[in-house]
Amino acid sequence: MNLRQLQYFVRVFEMQNMTRAAESLYVAQPALSQQIALLEESLGVSLLVRGSRGVHATAEGVLLYRHAQTILRQVDSTRSLLAKTDEQMTGTVSIGMASSTARMVGLPLIKLVKQEVPGIVLEIVDIPSADLTRLVLQGRVDFSLSPDQQPIKGITLTPLVVEELFLLTHAGLKLPESNVALESISTLPLILPSLPNKLRARVDHVFLTARLTYNLFAEASTSAILIPAVRERLAATLLPYSAAQPEIANGTITAHSMDVELSREIVLCCSDSLPPTPAVNKVINLCTALIKQLVLDQRWLGCQVLY
- Span 41-64, average pLDDT: 86
Residue type present at position 167 = L
Average pLDDT taken over every residue of the chain? 89
Do 148 and 297 belong to one domain? yes
Percentage of the chain surpassing pLDDT 70?
Answer: 96
78 within domain boundaries: no
Judge whether 74 lies within some domain.
no
Amino acid at residue number 70: T
Per 3-state DSSP, the chain is made up of helix, strand and coil in percentages (nearest 5) of: 45, 25, 30
Residues 173, 149 share a domain: no
- Same domain as 60, residue 101: no
Residue 81 in any domain: the answer is no
Number of other CB atoms surrounding residue 124 within 10 Å: 16
Question: 171-210, pLDDT tens digit by residue?
Answer: 999 898 889 999 999 999 999 999 888 899 999 999 999 9
Q: What is the CATH number of the domain that holds 146?
A: 3.40.190.10
Which pLDDT value is given to residue 266?
Answer: 96
CATH code of residue 232: 3.40.190.290
The better pLDDT of the pair 59, 111 is held by: 111
Report which of 100, 150, 155, 97 is spatially closest to residue 127, judged by C-alpha positions: 97
Residue 170 belongs to what domain range?
162-264
H or E element, residue 304: strand 303-305
Cis check for the bond before 228: say yes or no (omega within 30 of 0): no
What average pLDDT does range 107-133 have in this prediction? Answer: 90
pLDDT at 76 over 70: no
Rounded Cα distance, 184 and 214, in Å:
10
Higher model confidence: residue 95 or residue 278?
A: 95
How do 91-97 and 120-126 pair as beta strands? parallel
Measure Cα distances from 14 to 29, 45, 165, 183 in Å.
16, 19, 35, 46
Section 246-273 average pLDDT: 94
Residue 97 inside a domain? The answer is: yes
226-255 pLDDT per residue, tens:
999 999 999 999 999 999 999 999 999 999
For residue 81, name the pLDDT band (cuts at 50, 70, 90): low
- For residues 202 and 257, state if they share a domain: yes
- Please give the pLDDT value at position 65: 86
Please check whether residues 25 and 36 belong to one and the same domain: yes
- Is residue 247, in this structure, part of any structural domain at all? yes
Q: How many domains does the chain have?
A: 3
